[in-house]
Chains A and B, each alone.
Chain A
Amino acid sequence: MLAALFDNPAAMIMLVGALVGIASTLVGTFLVLRGNSMLSDAIGHAIVFGIVIVWLVTHQQSGPLQILGAALTGLLTVVLTELLVSTRRVKQDAAIGLVFPVLFSIGVLLLNLYARDVHIDTHTVLLGEIGFVWLDTVTLGEYRVPQALLSMGAMTLLNAAFVGCFFKELKLATFDEGLARALGLAPGLLFHGLLLLTSGTAVAAFDAVGAVLFVAFVIVPPATAYLLTDRLWLMFVYGILVSILSSISGYVLAVAWDVSIGGMMAVMTGAFLLVAFLAGPRYGVVAQWFRRRGQRRLNEIRTLAVHLYNHEGSPEQHEENVTRALREHLLWDDAKARRVVARSREQALIERNGEALHLTPGGRELAREILEPGRRATDGQG
């Protein structure tokens, strides 16, 4: 049964895609929360330099040592960026944009010079080829297991172990760095460890999805989750769910349309983000719109109640407390006035008597509460 699974290219591709997404989400959640998302872009590009260097030194293209070596250059990018910022001549965003193109350029030139016939041609660098992961297999026991599945699986476990072991510490360092430092947690070290794992994930994911699509997996699922929840552990759950769903739907659509699988998976993460952005229960655009509309309606009803209350029992009551007067005094057009009156009546705040509008006891109470907040309803007039 297991052998059948390993021999099924479609399952392998989706599995590798999901693993890339899960591993990326585990580290990406903290990057997104800390406001360092673009570091993943820098790392994703700069590891090209690392991969070439490691290849030049060892002439091996895969294995844990290569992942670690190339991952270190990802960390180098971050350190160089920090160094540049610490000179106080360059802002952080500009520093990121200066460092990674330099490393990427050197990487491309080294490829030009020494490694023309390596499989890391410049095309793979950006696009990756997840469709072929099942071709490159190693024999494990009696099974032939795709190499990418092993490296991505290992990276996912490593990231999960890191996040699991340091969950409290990472949480504190992300949301209150000052407190974390005061408690002796070394948030800087923790963060660099996280970035090293990010770089490692980038290297491991490199063959499958390439540098830029890796960025999509790091940033988009956590960002989607961030639009859906305020709880950190739920962010992981949602992010991982989005990764898995993107991987499956991306594969299906890519096969149907005969386009890049990795690309389609990344596009699907964007589609899920769009859904969360529009339809998220609390922070979604639609929810916000409904909330704002509810607030506006409430304000209208309260305005009407106060208006009626102010003129209640006064000589001009029969002129003011009629629907007609709302146009001149509250600058509402007829349609709006009718709508507000209808809604107020529905909520039993006012009664209508021919043209005249009267507050119900409930409406009167509402108006008083607005005009004199803090007075208890039971105090009465005295």
Chain B
Amino acid sequence: MASLLSLLNDYTLQNVMAGAALLGLISGVLGCFAVLRRQSLLGDTMSHAALPGVCLGFIIAGGRHMGSILTGALVTGALAALTMLLLTRLSRLKTDAALGIALSVFFALGVVLLTHIQGMNNASQGGLDAFLFGQAAATLRADVWIMAGITAIALALVAVLWKEFKLVTFDAEFAASLGLPVVWLEALLTMMVALAVVVGLQMVGVVLMAAMIIAPAVAARQWSRRLEGMVTLAALIGMAGGVLGALLSALSRGLATGPLIILSVSAVVLLSIALAPGRGLAWEALRLWRGRRRLRQQQVLTTLYGLAARHEDPVFRSEQGLIDSYHGLRTRTALRKLERRGLVEWGEAPPGEPGPSRRWLLTPAGRAEAERVLASLYEEGA
């Protein structure tokens, strides 16, 4: 515990954790809109396309100046989005191909520029590679302030245009009929993904940014049906994942921060899909199991009722083996459940009859229930 506390006082780690939290915050919030608008992979494309911008920023500024590098990343990221848009609008290519083309060609251009910079023999080129995979440890206090500024701008935009964004996300046609500038709002939402990418470049790198946009939003979606709740939760999940990843990385010297952040957030996704109340897989399985159990009880009940009717004896006593032969064994638990509900009785066989001495028979309540089930089945069939 003491080591953890001393670790928390570590200046570098403070920067990394602050940066990771900011990244989780902005990508969680903006990712919700991207995922709901089925633009999950746009973040992937834009983050790859940020590479030539990083290099151009470096070339223009003549060194590793955060401001110009991030501006460059923002510009080429937006250009990639525009390219993708033009390809889908003006040609017969579909979204997936357009995304892949923008992603790979822009990235290739970035690689070419990167090698060009390496050929320039500029002393300060070291650290450009960091943008490929992220190098959280290189985060400076100044970088954190820039990231905080970008995050604040993005959050302010979301807050001010909340209603409009919500409308465009869920019903763009309705938004257009209300006279909202839908195209501009969609462009703004897309641009803001580029902002998140820019914040994440330093922390997790271009490859893993895709998951940072998608994962918190998908996880949050499992827990909340409302956009308000989803955005809040995604922000929290993103921040928690970021901080956890940063801490894990600090505790285990030498493990890269970016992947640990991604794995932390992805673990939350897995848990959410499995366990989220109402929507989770575990809940569905439980519902299914309950439904099946209920159905089996009803089947056993109506079988008993049918046997009684055929023998024209309302208190006809059926042997366990007979019921099993109807349903293929394992009816005992269903019968015990029915007994507990007071619908059947485990009664004595009539004296003098061969076979087991104890048998199942319907109670008056069981008869009524069986009649009700049969009536509802008949209604459904009609």
Answer yes or no: do A and B interact: yes
Cβ contact within 8 Å between A101 and B207: yes
**Chain B residue with Cβ nearest A109:** B259
In-complex Cβ contact of B263 among A105, A212, A285 (8 A)? A105
Q: Is the CB of B259 within 8 A of A38?
A: no
Interface residues as binary, A41-65 with B (CB distance below 8 Å gives 1, 0 otherwise): 1000100000000000000000000
* Known contacts A37-B99, A101-B266, A277-B91: A45-B207 contact under CB 8 Å: yes
Contact A87 B103 (CB under 8 A): no
Q: How large is the interface on B (under 10, 10 to 19, 20 to 34, 35 or more residues)?
A: 35 or more
Q: How many chain A residues have a CB neighbour from B under 8 Å?
A: 60
Scan residues 183-242 of chain A and give those whose CB is less than 8 A from a CB of chain B.
212-213, 215-216, 218-220, 223, 226-227
Q: Which residues of A contact B220 (CB under 8 A)?
A: none
CA of A162 to CA of B262, assembled, Å? 37
Q: Contacts A35-B96, A106-B259, A108-B133: A96 and B41 contacting too (C-beta < 8 A)? A: yes
Q: How far is the CB of B190 from chain A (nearest CB, A)?
A: 15
A122-130, A135-143, A148-156, A293-301 - the one binding chain B: A122-130
Interface 0/1 of B258-278, CB less than 8 Å to A: 111011001001000100000
Q: Is the CB of B65 closer than 8 A to any CB of chain A?
A: no
Query: With the chains together, A260 CA to B38 CA distance in Å?
Result: 34
Contact of B107 among A96, A212, A277 (CB under 8 A): A212
CA distance A36 to B273 in the complex (A): 24
A133 within 8 A of B: no
Please report whether the interface of chain A is mostly helix, strand, loop or mixed according to DSSP: helix
Scoring B43, B97, B213 by chain A CB atoms within 10 A of each residue's CB, the highest score goes to: B97
> Which residues of chain B from 60 to 99 have any CB-CB distance to chain A below 8 Å in the complex?
87, 90-97, 99
The one of A37, A91, A100, A285 that contacts B38, using a Cβ cutoff of 8 Å:
A91
Contact between A41 and B132, CB atoms less than 8 A apart: no
Which of B95, B99, B266, B279 lies in contact with A89, CB distance below 8 A? B279
B40 and A91 within 8 A (CB): yes
Chain A hits for B39, CB < 8 A:
93
B314 in contact (CB, < 8 A): no
CB-based nearest B residue for A89: B273
Check A108/B259 contact, CB under 8 A, given A97-B210, A101-B266. yes
A residues in contact with B215, CB < 8 Å: 98
Contact of A220 among B43, B105, B113, B266 (CB under 8 A): B105
The reply to whether B263 and A102 form a contact with Cβ atoms under 8 Å apart is: yes
B367 at the interface (CB under 8 A from A): no
Contacts of B111 in A (CB 8 A): 126-127, 212-213, 260, 262-263, 266
Q: Does B112 contact A (CB under 8 A)?
A: yes
Q: Check A101 against B211 for contact (C-beta < 8 Å).
A: yes
B191-227 residues at the A interface, CB under 8 angstroms: 207-208, 210-211, 213-215, 217-218, 221-222
The answer to whether B41 and A97 have CB atoms under 8 Å apart is yes
CB–CB A102/B266 < 8 A: yes
Tell me, in angstroms, the Cα distance from A87 to B281 when the chains sit together. 8
Residue on B with the closest CB to A100?
A: B210
CB-CB < 8 A to A213: which residues of B?
Answer: 104, 107-108, 111
B113 and chain A: residue at smallest CB distance = A259
User: In the complex where A94-B218, A101-B266, A285-B90 touch, is A270 in contact with B41 (Cβ < 8 A)?
Assistant: no
Residue of B nearest to A260 (CB): B115
Least distance between A232 CB and chain B CB atoms (Å): 15
Q: Which of B351-372 contact A (CB under 8 A)?
A: none
A-B pair count, CB < 8 Å, reads 196
B44 near A97: Cβ-Cβ < 8 Å: yes
Assembled-state Cα–Cα distance A113/B260 (Å):
13
**A residues 52-111 touching B (CB-CB < 8 Å):** 84, 87, 89-91, 93-94, 96-98, 100-102, 104-106, 108-109
- Within 118-169 of B, Cβ neighbours of A (below 8 Å) are at 119, 129, 132-133
> Which B residues lie within 8 Å of A227 (CB)?
91-93
B111 to chain A, nearest CB (A): 3
Q: Answer whether A97 and B104 are a contact pair too, CB < 8 Å, given A37-B96, A37-B97.
A: no
Do A108 and B266 contact each other (CB < 8 Å), given the known contacts A220-B101, A260-B114?
A: no
Chain A CB within 8 A of B116 CB: yes
Which among A101, A265, A270 is the interface contact of B262 at CB below 8 angstroms?
A101
| Cα-based distance from A259 to B211 in the complex (angstroms) | 30
In B273-289, the 8 Å CB interface with A consists of 273, 279, 281
Q: Is the CB of B255 within 8 A of A109?
A: yes
Q: Is A258 an interface residue (CB 8 A)?
A: yes
Question: Is A337 at the interface (CB under 8 A from chain B)?
Answer: no
A322 proximal to B (CB < 8 A): no
Residue of B133, B210, B211, B262 with most chain A CB atoms under a 10 A cut-off: B210
Q: List 6 A-B contacts (CB under 8 A).
A: A97-B40, A102-B263, A105-B259, A226-B97, A260-B111, A270-B104
Please list the residues of chain B having a beta carbon within 8 angstroms of any beta carbon in chain A: 35, 38-41, 43-44, 48, 87, 90-97, 99-101, 103-105, 107-116, 119, 129, 132-133, 207-208, 210-211, 213-215, 217-218, 221-222, 254-256, 258-260, 262-263, 266, 269, 273, 279, 281
* The 5 nearest A-B residue pairs measured at CB: A270-B105, A105-B259, A266-B108, A263-B111, A216-B104
Residues of A at the B interface (CB closer than 8 Å) are 32, 35-38, 40-41, 45, 84, 87, 89-91, 93-94, 96-98, 100-102, 104-106, 108-109, 112-113, 122-123, 126-127, 212-213, 215-216, 218-220, 223, 226-227, 254, 257-260, 262-267, 269-270, 273, 277, 283, 285, 288
